[in-house]
Amino acid sequence: MEPVDDVFKALADPHRRQLLDRLNARNGQTLRELCTDLDMTRQAVSKHLAVLESALLVATVRRGREKFHYLNPAPLHEIADRWIHRYDRARVEALADLKHALEDHDVTTNDRPEFVYTTYIRTSPERLFAALTEPVFTQRYWQVELDTDWRPGSTMTWRQRGATISHPEQVVLECDPPRRLSYSWHTFTEEWAAAVGIDADERARIAAEPRSRVTFELEPDGPLVKLTVIHDGFARGSEVLEKIRGGWPKVVGAIKTLLETGDLDDGLTASAVSAAPVTAVYDALTTLDGLRAWWMPDVDGEPASRGGEVTFRFDDDHVTMRVDHLEPTLVVWTCTESTKFAEWIDTRLWWELRHREDAGTEIEFRQVGLLQECECYGECSRGWNHFVVSLAEFAAGSGGHPRGSDGWETARSAR
């Protein structure tokens, strides 16, 4: 049974819809508060809440002895993304309108979080934690880079749309990988406002508010990870709170898409299936002998060291890659120099390796930032289609077809 079945089953009961209506009217209620004036026993309400929580329509947060319940619109967003936009999303946008679904007009407990959002992502806790902290991930789904050593108390520098945002109170609060991460929200500087299109009056209002904080909780659940985003510390009537209510669902949705499919439509793609196991494909990407055998014969550097550089030379040109991410199923390079194609500079090359049931490997390649409007897109697309197959065949032991080889010359003649 798909998760969507649980959502529709949970919504089919009128009592459960009544509880969601109550959270829609005032979010973050305790069980005692939800039972007030209801023609249901406390036990019945508790059972209905368990069904809603199981379907992810309700998220909970504990503060001391209190358990607060929040209407969680994530499943409705996912249903809308999968089904509604195909037909007429505008007419049913209200189903997932966070502004109304998460409003909290009467917060009486200072320790009660104002915003809670929960979803499940098919990934590992380690990969999700990396996605929350490493620039190669955050720049791709959020267009934000967080520069810090991730030690509690350390300052954070935000980089967003060309703006650099620093402040002594912009700090890491907690970091317990891969379970929990918390930091204070960024500072609303004039440079940031200009970069994101906020006028001076609006910037002055939100800059006058107290600094908020965001917390990410990661809980493994078989092949999934439950991600809960808690953003709190807002003043009553906060304008910033209104903004993040619509922002976090988009960011979390992009994280989910990136980690589950990689399909953010942000660059050139190529793919191949190799009969080799993932370990063999990984070795071909992280050793000089491997790189020489399937891509460029003239190469030197440190492909197996994070932060290392690798330079490929061909004809009178060269291209240099910095190794930004290494794990057994993901390799990410950033192009730092390219004499033939200037458009390559600052693009990122993602090599996603997925295990197959037949012990082979699905290779998904994407050159992030190399878009169709780039002058070299057509030539590069044809080239990568060849080289990704070359990688797959070399890893499987049948020999690669690097630049200058007979296989390369045959493929180039066919183009």
State pLDDT tens for residues 344-364: 999 999 999 999 999 999 999
At residue 136, the pLDDT reads 95
| Cα gap 91→111, rounded to integer Å | 37
Report whether pLDDT(17) > 50: yes
Q: What are 342's two structure tokens?
A: 């200037």
Mean pLDDT of 156-160: 96
Q: How confident is the model at residue 204 (pLDDT cuts 50, 70, 90)?
A: very high
Mean pLDDT of 119-145: 95
Task: Give DSSP secondary structure letters for 339-408.
Answer: SS-GGGTT-EEEEEEEE-TTS-EEEEEEEET--TTSTTHHHHHHHHHHHHHHHHHHHTTS----TTSHHH
- Residues 277-324: tens digit of each pLDDT: 999 999 999 999 999 999 999 999 999 999 999 999 999 999 999 999
Q: How confident is the model at residue 92 (pLDDT cuts 50, 70, 90)?
A: very low
| Cα gap 240→221, rounded to integer Å | 32
Helix (H) or strand (E) holding 411: helix 406-414
How many other β-carbons are positioned within 10 Å of the β-carbon of residue 52? 26
- Residues 69-84: tens digit of each pLDDT: 888 877 776 666 555 5
Q: What are 288's two structure tokens?
A: 């000089």
Average pLDDT across the chain, whole number = 88
Query: 330: which residues sit within 8 A by CB, 6+ positions away?
Result: 127, 350, 351, 352, 353
CB contact at 8 A, 365 and 271: yes
DSSP SS3 for 283: helix
Query: 222: which residues sit within 8 A by CB, 6+ positions away?
Result: none
Percent of the chain whose predicted confidence (pLDDT) is above 90: 64
Nearest to 319 by CA among 270, 380, 408, 363: 380
At residue 80, the pLDDT reads 62
Report whether pLDDT(89) > 90: no
At residue 311, the pLDDT reads 98
At residue 22, the pLDDT reads 85
At residue 102, the pLDDT reads 40
